[in-house]
Chain A
Amino acid sequence: MAEHFVAAPRWEWYILGYFFLGGLAGGMYALATMLRLWGSPRDEAAARTGFLAAFPLLVLCPILLTIDLGRPVRFWHMLVDTTPGHGGLAFKYWSPMSVGSWALLVYGAFALVSFIEVRALDGRTRAPLARAIAHALAGGAGRAFNVVGALLGLYVASYTGILLSVSNQPIWSDTGALGGLFLASGLGGSAALLAWLARYRPEGEATEWRLAQAERYFAIMELLLIALVFANLAGAGTLARALAKPWGVLWALVVASLVPPLVGMGGPAVQVASGSGSAAVARAAGASRTPMVASVLLGVLLMRFVVIWSAQF
């Protein structure tokens, strides 16, 4: 039985916002990469939507993290060792917050480059640099670039859970499954959001149905990981605390938010055949799914809320 005598770090709303956006930003890039690698040429539309969404979602993350610091102006101390006589870079592979700071920086660069590439491919920018990027990333080099970016995205979406576990807090440190749980939830939320956003592009709806399929698998993974977390907590003797008064209800809501994608409600209500399909019809069909997407994203947020708050309050 684990006994805890720690104090709470009081990581609250900014951190919740970061965990939510980081999960979606990382998941978006990973899904977009998978669509490019394994999808048909028609899936390129949805893939581009993913790359276009990943960077704006990500760019908010370091802002939230910096505001949360007691000394925001010293955010760069995460990267540079300012201890007199030390110098050099601050990097500790065994501290997820240290690795994560670097991962955010590097992933941010990948997300930005892919964002610019897609803007150039869409003809939205004619800046020489953007066109040079798009040219350089055409073909195999571009796919390799996406794969590295996707791996970084998967890291950003998952390490926040590991960061919580690598502590001595009750609940967080009593399970090693939070990293996986955050990743599964981030992928599920990204799939729902991407399917919803993709219909704003011509041909984007071609991918919707398969994104809903992926979302179903991610929901299954998330349910299994929730069960694993609960089993770990039961072993450590902190399950009662994790399911105490408000938290148990919230966990139930998290599980409930996984039911619609699980039973296949994530798929388009109306599949518009190409040729006959007008974008307006597709958008109308997608709009009917707005509540479903909203509930999935709320579940992504709520799961992180319960994990963060139940350990500290």
Chain B
Amino acid sequence: MAEAVGFFTDTSVCIGCKACEVACKEWNQLKGNTPAFLADSFDNTGRLDDQNWRHVAFIDKVPEATMTTGNGAAWLMFSDVCKHCKHASCMEVCPTNAIIRTEFDTVFIQQDVCNGCRDCIAACPFGVIGFSEQTGTAHKCTFCYDRLQSGLMPACAKVCPTQAIQFGPLGEMQKKADARLATLQAQGTTQARLYGRDEKVYGGLNAFFLLMDKPEAYGLPNEANAVLPRRNNRSGYFGAVVTAALGALAGLVALRDRGATRRAEDALRRSGPGGRM
């Protein structure tokens, strides 16, 4: 197995240029969706899906009142991507084993195995995966698997002009992130925090983030809500077994013949044909 790779996406230096989105589409030959004007911000991509494997979200933090120069955040820029979770919800439910972990420790959908059941879409807590009508399969960021195999860095990291997207061995990325967080903290930027750097979110994310607000503000589940689909197997099966047992009991009580049929018929015969029960 090759060395585990990581993305360190530092939102504190993202300028929202969307070069990552463009480079991703160029390299991966994604046509993109029909252009739409979302009239919400400078973000007209909207969300990650089968055509958008990087998405720069513009999270509105524009203050209501006029501020003095240098005061008040305007946007939280956030280049979102598949998190390549260590404990991946999509991989957990995939019934065909189309979703695998590669030699680079990334999460990858094998296009020739996927049959388009979309269970992974129901499972991914980040809304990363999209279904393509064109291929009939599920798609998401591949971590530029083909580039990794050739010793190249992923396209988005390659073009990022501000080093908001950094790529390298996972351990190295984590050290960089720790140093960056310490620098920001020292400068008094206390709202800075790392997301997915440790194992608290899905056992750790190979694509982790430095955020400037709480995860929910970015549309990311917090630690309490970062849970795996299989947690519901226990209660689901318990409920079904209890219901099945009660159903069988109901069947035993209602359907068992204790001469009831004959008694009912005798009663009816006495009351005459056509009598009501």
Residues of chain A within 8 A of B243, CB atoms compared? 158, 179-181, 183-184, 221, 225
Of the candidates A86, A155, A168, A207, which one forms a contact with B122 in the assembled complex, judged by CB atoms under 8 Å apart?
A168
A7-B124 in contact (CB<8A): yes
Is the CB–CB distance between B236 and A167 below 8 Å?
no
* A180 with B261: CB separation less than 8 A: no
* A residues in contact with B265, CB < 8 Å: 271, 273-274
Provide the residues of chain A in CB contact with B244, threshold 8 Å. 154, 158, 183
Partner of A159, one of B119, B240, B250: B240
A137-188 contacts to B (CB < 8 Å): 154-155, 158-159, 161-169, 172-173, 176-181, 183-184, 187
Kindly state whether residue A295 has any CB partner on chain B within 8 Å: no
CB neighbours of B264 from chain A (8 A): 209, 271
CB–CB B124/A168 < 8 A: yes
* Shortest Cβ gap from B249 to chain A (Å): 8
A167 CB contact (under 8 Å) in B93, B100, B234: B93
**Option from B219, B239, B255 in Cβ contact (under 8 Å) with A180:** B239
**B247 and A7 contacting across the interface, CB-CB below 8 Å:** no
Q: How far is the CB of A8 from chain B (nearest CB, A)?
A: 7
B242–chain A nearest beta-carbon distance, Å: 7
Nearest-CB distance from A219 to chain B (Å)? 10
Surface stretch bound by B, among A56-64, A92-100, A105-113, A126-134: A92-100
Quick check: B255 and A43 within 8 Å, CB to CB? yes
B97 contact from A2, A83, A101, A180, Cβ within 8 A: A83
- Chain B residue nearest to A101 in the complex (CB): B95
Contact across chains for A178 and B273 when beta carbons are under 8 A apart: no
A244 within 8 A of partner (CB): no
Question: Within the complex, what minimum Cβ distance (angstroms) separates A84 from chain B?
Answer: 8
- In the complex, A214 Cα to B256 Cα: how many Å? 10
How far is B239's CA from A94's CA once the two chains are assembled, in angstroms? 16
Known: A70-B136, A167-B229. A161 touches B236 (CB 8 A): yes
Instruction: Give which listed residue, B255, B273, B277, contacts A211 with CB less than 8 A.
Output: B255
Q: Which residues of chain B from 256 to 277 have a CB within 8 Å of any chain A CB?
A: 256-257, 260-261, 264-265, 268-269, 273-277
* Residues of A within 8 A of B (CB-CB), count: 85
A270 touching B274 in the complex, CB below 8 Å, given contacts A81-B96, A180-B242: yes
Does B253 sit at the interface, judged by CB under 8 A?
yes
Contacts of B125 in A (CB 8 A): 4-6, 168
**Is the C-beta of A309 less than 8 angstroms from some C-beta in chain B?**
no
Q: A25 within 8 Å of B by Cβ?
A: no
Q: Which of B126, B222, B234 neighbours the largest number of chain A CB atoms within 10 Å of its CB?
A: B126
Q: Does B252 contact A (CB under 8 A)?
A: yes
Are the C-beta atoms of A269 and B97 separated by less than 8 Å?
A: no
Q: Which residues of B contact A4 (CB under 8 A)?
A: 125, 221, 225
Is B255 within 8 A of A7, CB to CB? no
Measured between beta carbons, the chain A residues less than 8 angstroms from B233 are 94, 96, 162, 166
Q: Kindly provide the distance from the CB of A262 to the nearest chain B CB, expressed in whole angstroms.
A: 13
Residues of B within 8 A of A35 (CB): 255
How many residues of chain B are within 8 Å of chain A by beta carbon?
A: 80
Inter-chain contacts of A221 with B (CB < 8 A) = 243, 246-247, 250
Q: Which of B94, B247, B253 has the most CB of A within 10 A?
A: B247
Are A11 and B118 touching (Cβ within 8 A)?
A: yes
Whether, in the assembled complex, A31 has its beta carbon less than 8 Å from a beta carbon of chain B, the answer is yes
Q: Is A69 an interface residue (CB 8 A)?
A: yes
Q: A177-B239, A267-B277 are in contact. Are A7 and B95 (CB under 8 A)?
A: no
Complex formed: what's the CA distance from A155 to B236 in Å?
12
Interface centre among A159, A210, A211 (most CB of B within 10 A): A210
**Pair count A-B, CB < 8 A:** 257
| Stretch among A72-80, A115-123, A298-306 lining the B interface | A72-80
> How many angstroms between the C-alpha atoms of A176 and B125 in the bound complex?
18
Q: Are B250 and A7 within 8 A (Cβ)?
A: no
- Alpha-carbon distance between A86 and B99 when the two chains are bound, in angstroms: 13
Chain B 62-116 interface residues, beta-carbon cutoff 8 Å to A: 89, 92-98, 100, 110, 112-116
- State whether A40 touches B118 (Cβ < 8 A): no
Q: Does B237 contact A (CB under 8 A)?
A: yes
Task: Find chain B residues with CB under 8 A from A209 CB.
Answer: 264, 277
A94 B92 Cβ-Cβ under 8 A: yes
CA distance A4 to B224 in the complex (A): 12
- Bitwise, A2-39 to B at CB < 8 A (1) or not (0) is 11111111110000000000000000001100110011
Query: Is A42 on the interface with B (CB-CB < 8 A)?
Result: yes
Docked CA distance A6–B229 (Å): 12
Residue A52 CB within 8 A of the other chain: no
- Please state if A217 and B253 are interface contacts (CB–CB under 8 Å): yes
- Cβ–Cβ < 8 Å partners of A206 in chain B: 261
Q: List 14 A-B contacts (CB under 8 A).
A: A30-B251, A35-B255, A74-B116, A82-B96, A83-B97, A83-B100, A95-B93, A159-B240, A167-B229, A167-B232, A176-B232, A210-B260, A221-B247, A274-B265
Q: Which residues of A contact B (CB under 8 A)?
A: 2-11, 30-31, 34-35, 38-40, 42-43, 68-72, 74-75, 77-78, 81-83, 86, 90, 92, 94-98, 101, 154-155, 158-159, 161-169, 172-173, 176-181, 183-184, 187, 206-207, 209-211, 213-214, 216-218, 221, 225, 267-274, 276
Instruction: Beyond the given A70-B118, A172-B122, please list 4 additional residue pairs across the A-B interface where CB-CB is below 8 A.
Output: A6-B123, A9-B119, A95-B119, A180-B240
What are the 10 A-B residue pairs with the smallest beta carbon separation, nearest first?
A70-B116, A176-B235, A70-B136, A217-B250, A162-B236, A180-B243, A180-B239, A74-B115, A40-B257, A179-B240
